[in-house]
Amino acid sequence: MPDSKSIPLAGSDEVRIRQGVELAKHCRFGVGGPADWFVEVRSAADIREAYRFARERDLPCFTYSGGSNLFFDSRGFRGLVVRLIGGGWNVDPDSLVVDVSSGTDLPLLIRNLARLGIGGADFLGNIPGAVGGAVVGNAGCYGQSIDGMLISAEIYDIEADTMFTAEPDYFEFSYRHSRLKYDPLRMVVSASLRFREADPLATLEAVEEELQLRLSKHPHDSRCAGSFFKNISREQSAWRIITDAGMADSRVGGAQLSPMHANFLINEDAASSDDILALCRMVQRGVREKLGIEMETEVRYVGQFGIEEIRPES
């Protein structure tokens, strides 16, 4: 299907819903076939119009923001893919609560706030992706995660075509997980996050130091989605478990575990979604057989009709 046809989004002269867009170009993993329909939106009003377009045509939908923690099916998506881009934020100068839209780049947000003397979230400063995805996946590192900062979030209920405010308990947060991670009917439009005063120079230096540490250990130039499997605990890291099980050099087709870090599954040579899924399950099977440990994924897989949880083979 050629990437040529497009339809203006109702109520907008600039936003267009495009047909046949290659999803591989719109995620960090670089994996994904053509979406029947694809649109990039910035506002809540445009989000609602995009989903009205889908309802009128009875189309399956998937919504995401940064695209750093997922991959699409190589056969594409048989419906409408909505991507939240851009964004903005406002700071309450008294409480240092920041209201931020989902499409806002997370590392850029942390650095911009740091320059204003607003910090307390250094651990988020080098996690790629956008704010919406960080909330949905409960992003974090070093024993901290974004759920500890969240005050509330604005949620769009696609089925009911309504917006509502959700407090942290609604999300049922756990390690790298929330109830919205595999929910196709609700999406985070914006979030209110609690920050605190911080020394600008010290904060920026800490974020930069952590970045250099990451660059020394992780294959950040590779096409991947960061850590692929969840750690079992702080003492049982996924990369160590994979290595101890003798799986560190595993490869299927164009997908392989990075020689630099065994928990980074990378698109080394035009990997397909089937390559990634097969390698994922090979690792899960090998770890189970060697160590009796079940490995769960952090990364999301978007099939042809919606989000699908990658479960270990029985």
| Separation in Å, CA 54 to CA 7, 13, 62, 160, 161 | 12, 19, 10, 13, 12
d(CA 23, CA 133): 17
240 is catalytic: no
The span from the first CA to the last CA of the chain, in angstroms, equals 37
Token duo for residue 293 = 């440990």
d(CA 53, CA 48): 9
192 is catalytic: no
Q: Which residues pair with 264 in a beta bridge?
A: 227
d(CA 229, CA 176): 10
Q: Which residue shows structure tokens 């057989």?
A: 289
Please answer whether residues 301 and 310 qualify as being in contact, where contact means their C-beta atoms are separated by less than 8 angstroms.
yes
Choose, from 28, 48, 83, 176, the residue flagged as catalytic: 176
Please answer whether residues 146 and 139 qualify as being in contact, where contact means their C-beta atoms are separated by less than 8 angstroms.
yes
298 is catalytic: yes
Choose, from 154, 250, 298, 300, the residue flagged as catalytic: 298
Q: Alpha carbon 230 to chain centroid distance?
A: 14
Q: Which residue shows structure tokens 């702080």?
A: 234
Q: Alpha carbon 44 to chain centroid distance?
A: 19
Please answer whether residues 6 and 17 qualify as being in contact, where contact means their C-beta atoms are separated by less than 8 angstroms.
yes
Choose, from 65, 102, 190, 227, the residue flagged as catalytic: 227
Q: Which residue shows structure tokens 């495009």?
A: 18
* Residues taking part in catalysis: 176, 227, 298
